[in-house]
Amino acid sequence: MGIDKNRVKTQDELNEPAPIDEVEERVEAEMKRLEGAAKKDVAEGLQNEELIKDGKRLQVEGEREISKLKKKRS
Protein backbone atom coordinates (compact mmCIF):
# COMPACT_ATOMS: atom_id res chain seq x y z
CA MET A 1 0.00 0.00 0.00
CA GLY A 2 1.74 3.12 -1.23
CA ILE A 3 0.91 6.65 -2.18
CA ASP A 4 -0.74 7.06 -5.56
CA LYS A 5 1.27 9.94 -7.02
CA ASN A 6 -1.45 10.64 -9.59
CA ARG A 7 -3.92 11.56 -6.84
CA VAL A 8 -1.61 13.82 -4.84
CA LYS A 9 -2.24 17.57 -5.24
CA THR A 10 0.38 20.14 -4.34
CA GLN A 11 -0.18 23.45 -2.60
CA ASP A 12 0.64 25.21 -5.86
CA GLU A 13 -2.01 23.24 -7.73
CA LEU A 14 -4.59 24.07 -5.05
CA ASN A 15 -3.43 27.73 -4.83
CA GLU A 16 -2.88 27.36 -1.08
CA PRO A 17 -0.27 29.48 0.68
CA ALA A 18 2.55 27.68 2.43
CA PRO A 19 2.08 27.56 6.22
CA ILE A 20 5.39 29.37 6.72
CA ASP A 21 4.07 32.31 4.67
CA GLU A 22 0.97 32.54 6.85
CA VAL A 23 3.09 32.61 10.00
CA GLU A 24 5.28 35.37 8.61
CA GLU A 25 2.24 37.54 7.82
CA ARG A 26 0.81 37.01 11.31
CA VAL A 27 4.13 37.85 12.96
CA GLU A 28 4.48 41.06 10.93
CA ALA A 29 0.93 42.12 11.80
CA GLU A 30 1.44 41.35 15.49
CA MET A 31 4.73 43.28 15.54
CA LYS A 32 3.00 46.28 13.95
CA ARG A 33 0.28 46.13 16.61
CA LEU A 34 2.84 45.90 19.43
CA GLU A 35 4.97 48.70 17.98
CA GLY A 36 1.91 50.93 17.77
CA ALA A 37 0.92 50.18 21.36
CA ALA A 38 4.44 50.87 22.62
CA LYS A 39 4.74 54.07 20.61
CA LYS A 40 1.36 55.26 21.91
CA ASP A 41 2.32 54.52 25.52
CA VAL A 42 5.63 56.38 25.24
CA ALA A 43 3.97 59.30 23.47
CA GLU A 44 1.38 59.56 26.23
CA GLY A 45 4.19 59.77 28.76
CA LEU A 46 5.83 62.50 26.68
CA GLN A 47 2.45 64.13 26.09
CA ASN A 48 3.12 64.22 22.34
CA GLU A 49 -0.23 64.20 20.52
CA GLU A 50 1.28 63.54 17.09
CA LEU A 51 3.11 60.42 18.30
CA ILE A 52 -0.01 59.26 20.15
CA LYS A 53 -2.00 59.43 16.89
CA ASP A 54 0.76 57.61 14.99
CA GLY A 55 0.92 54.89 17.64
CA LYS A 56 -2.85 54.41 17.63
CA ARG A 57 -2.81 54.24 13.81
CA LEU A 58 -0.13 51.55 13.82
CA GLN A 59 -1.92 49.59 16.52
CA VAL A 60 -5.27 49.67 14.68
CA GLU A 61 -3.58 48.78 11.39
CA GLY A 62 -1.90 45.76 12.98
CA GLU A 63 -5.14 44.64 14.62
CA ARG A 64 -6.95 44.96 11.27
CA GLU A 65 -4.31 42.84 9.54
CA ILE A 66 -4.51 40.20 12.27
CA SER A 67 -8.29 40.11 11.93
CA LYS A 68 -8.04 39.67 8.14
CA LEU A 69 -5.58 36.81 8.56
CA LYS A 70 -7.82 35.07 11.09
CA LYS A 71 -10.81 35.33 8.72
CA LYS A 72 -8.65 34.06 5.86
CA ARG A 73 -7.70 30.94 7.88
CA SER A 74 -11.32 30.12 8.74
Q: Where are the domains of the chain?
A: 18-73
Banded pLDDT at 38 (limits 50, 70, 90):
very high
pTM: 0.61
Closest CA to 29 of 59, 6, 49, 73: 59
Contact 7, 13 (CB under 8 A): no
Banded pLDDT at 34 (limits 50, 70, 90):
very high
- Of residues 49 and 71, which shows the higher confidence score? 49
Task: Classify residue 48 by its DSSP letter.
Answer: -
CA–CA distance, 4 with 60 (Å, rounded to integer): 47
What is the rounded average pLDDT for all residues in the chain?
86
Which residue type sits at 69?
A: L
Phi, psi angle pair for 25, to nearest 5°? -65, -45
Banded pLDDT at 74 (limits 50, 70, 90):
low
Which pLDDT score, from 0 to 100, does residue 8 have? 83
